[in-house]
Amino acid sequence: MIRAVLASILLAFQITAFAADHKGVDWLTRMTESFDSLAYEGVFVHQEAGAMNSMRIRHGLIGGVEYESLEDLDGKRVEVIRADDSVICVFPEKEDYTTGFVPGEPFKRFRELDQGRLESAYDIQVIKEPQRIASRDAVKLVLTPKDEYRHGHEFWIDKSNGFLLKHDVLDAQFKLLERIQFTSVDFSPDLKEEDFTPKKGSYTQQFVEMKPQPVANDWTFEWLPEGFSLVWPYARRMNEHTKMLLLSDGMSTISVFVEPSDRKRPQTLMNLGATIAGENSIQVGEQTYLLTLVGEVPAQTIQRLMTVIMPKPNND
Amino acid sequence: MSKYDDTHNSKTYESLSAFLDNEASQADIEVLLTADKEGLANKLDHYHQIHQSTQLDGEQFIFDSGAFLSGIKDKLKEEMSDSNVVAFPQKNVLQQTNVDAEFSELEEQNDDPQVSHRPMWGGLAVAASVAVAVVMGGNLLLGGSSTDVTTPVFATNSVPVVEQNSISIQNIDEVADLENNERLKNYLRQHAQQASMTVGQGMIPMARVVSYPQDVKQ
């Protein structure tokens, strides 16, 4: 009994000490670690561009196997299940199978948060006022971008274990672009293998590890927003002609797709909440290329990046 | 307030006044482009109040953006010319770097001072962020309603766009051909997948995928 009381006091002290002493980036590091280290089962709401979806997420270690699943509770109830490096996508009916929904490769685990890069791009502030989300005490972080090339973020992080409870993406006028908010979450879930087994009669597609095809990156950017850099030193081959590059500042991600094209397209921007997609044609010698950029950044970032991508010099 | 702030604010105010009088020099343009956004917005508001208090009944404030656009054009030309020299192989031509063409189009639209600039400038809000930075200030002075005006964004390095379609991803089925449509959807999903591996939030970024159109079947 005494030991339990002492343990509780120690835990409370540790929580208080962490909350008082740590900077915003420490909380963000703790948040990213919690997705791997904790067992959890929760329901969250995803709100974007006026649409709202409720989703269930589960994560746990069962018999030495790491399981994770994300289930759409609305609409067609599509579910993605990961068991270590295998991914299964589950659809209620075969007709609901959507080729593009499933991941091309299993989810790799996020390894490390680049604190220096984040701090170069955002002012990170820990809000002192107590917060409460999904019946849990939370710490609120505000990430204010230092330039106009990225969105602002607000995180509500579980005070006791660092789990992400709520995340808002805001534009420069503080307009809400996207929100993830847990309505309930259990950190002692009684998860079993059956919870990660597709229901009988459902249609499943299983995917095994497919190593990405690295190819030479023959494109470069004359300019990048502060803190952004290529995630891979190479390009990835998407198909016979298309190459993909990935940019990130540690918080936002921009995908760049480049492919030869036989016709020019006007510059087009498409938006869905925080996500902006832009496409444009560029001419290199006799060859026209189609650029497609997708990212959770302001439209002007996509616009400007489309004007500064260029082929690397031949001797590079 | 420090002496530096006083001097700095005074210079910004002078540059703003010069701009509003169509007498802005390149130096004024640069001061405005680097000015504190909030401070500049306050000055615009202050200027607006002064203008309203001294305005005669029925008098229209006509704002000619030509001089300012011209200054911005020069500034952009200078920046882009520098960057092109450094980075572009001679043989490569990017389609959207013709600043002259872009601004001549804007200037042509501004030729008639009787034309109300408000709707046109509102439409440029996404396309020409640099121009918008000050154009929107001009709109504030025109006394437009808040619904007509986008909050000023004082970008310093953006590039204007001549031809641009802005649509919602949810509506891409209506505007894109089938081949392009499927290509875009595939890219959106690839992006969501990669984001889930990059930003350290577990599977949560995959939640975006369900918001995307899902009608591509085998």
Residue A187's pLDDT band, with cuts at 50, 70 and 90, is very high
- pLDDT score, position B198: 74
- Please write the tens of the pLDDT for every residue from A2-17: 555 445 544 444 444 4
Using CB atoms within 10 A of its CB, is residue A10 exposed (0-12), middle (13-18) or buried (19+)? Answer: exposed
Looking at the partner chain, which of A32, A257, A310 has a beta carbon nearest the beta carbon of B187?
A257
- Please write the tens of the pLDDT for every residue from B77-130: 554 443 322 222 222 222 233 333 433 443 444 433 332 222 222 222 222 222
Note whether B185 contacts A: Cβ–Cβ < 8 A: yes
Residue A137's pLDDT band, with cuts at 50, 70 and 90, is very high
pLDDT over 50 (residue A70): yes
Note whether B168 contacts A: Cβ–Cβ < 8 A: yes
Residue A194's pLDDT band, with cuts at 50, 70 and 90, is confident
- pLDDT score, position B156: 31
| Superfamily of segment(s) A214-311 | MucB/RseB, C-terminal domain (3.30.200.100)
Looking at the complex, report in whole angstroms how far the Cα of residue A20 sits from the nearest Cα belonging to chain B.
23
Looking at the partner chain, which of A100, A167, A173 has a beta carbon nearest the beta carbon of B189?
A100
Q: Are residues B151 and A98, on separate chains, in Cβ contact within 8 Å?
A: no
- Please write the tens of the pLDDT for every residue from B13-49: 677 666 666 566 667 766 776 666 556 656 555 555 5
Domains of chain A by residue range: 22-207, 214-311
Least confident of A153-157, A165-169, B18-22, B109-113: B109-113
pLDDT over 90 (residue B212): no
Helix, strand or coil, per DSSP, at residue A212: coil
pLDDT over 70 (residue A89): yes
pLDDT over 50 (residue B56): no
- Greater model confidence, B50 or A261: A261
Is the Cβ–Cβ distance between B31 and B11 less than 8 Å?
Answer: yes
Is the Cβ–Cβ distance between A52 and A46 less than 8 Å?
Answer: yes
Token pair for A293: 């950029």
Contacts of B216 (CB under 8 A, 6+ apart): A98, A99, A100, B182, B185, B186
Please provide the distance, in angstroms rounded to a whole number, between the alpha carbons at the two ends of chain A. 68
**What's the average model confidence in pLDDT over A266-281?**
88
- Greater model confidence, A186 or A79: A186
Strand partners, A158: A138
Least confident of A143-152, A299-308, B31-40, B185-194: B31-40
Q: Which chain B residues have a beta carbon less than 8 Å from that of A286?
A: none
- pLDDT score, position A44: 94
Note whether B129 contacts A: Cβ–Cβ < 8 A: yes
| DSSP assignment of B121-136 | HHHTTTT-HHHHHHHH
Q: What CA–CA distance (Å, rounded) separates A72 from B150?
A: 36
Residue of A nearest to B167 (CA): A270
Residue A212's pLDDT band, with cuts at 50, 70 and 90, is low
Looking at the complex, report in whole angstroms how far the Cα of residue B197 sits from the nearest Cα belonging to chain A.
6
Q: What is the mean pLDDT of chain A?
A: 84
- pLDDT score, position B169: 58
Least confident of A129-133, A145-149, B200-204, B213-217: B213-217
Identical fold for domains A22-207 and A214-311, yes or no, is no
Looking at the partner chain, which of A148, A178, A253 has a beta carbon nearest the beta carbon of B155?
A148
Domain A22-207: give its CATH code: 2.50.20.10
**What's the average model confidence in pLDDT over A66-85?**
82
For B215, phi and psi rounded to 5 degrees? -100, 15
pLDDT over 90 (residue A156): yes
Looking at the complex, report in whole angstroms how far the Cα of residue B174 sits from the nearest Cα belonging to chain A.
12
- pLDDT score, position B147: 28
Q: What CA–CA distance (Å, rounded) separates B46 from B33?
A: 19
Looking at the partner chain, which of B167, B198, B208 has a beta carbon nearest the beta carbon of A231?
B198
| CB within 8 Å of chain A, chain B residues 56-75 | none
Q: What is the mean pLDDT of chain B?
A: 48
Q: Which chain B residues have a beta carbon less than 8 Å from that of A152?
A: none
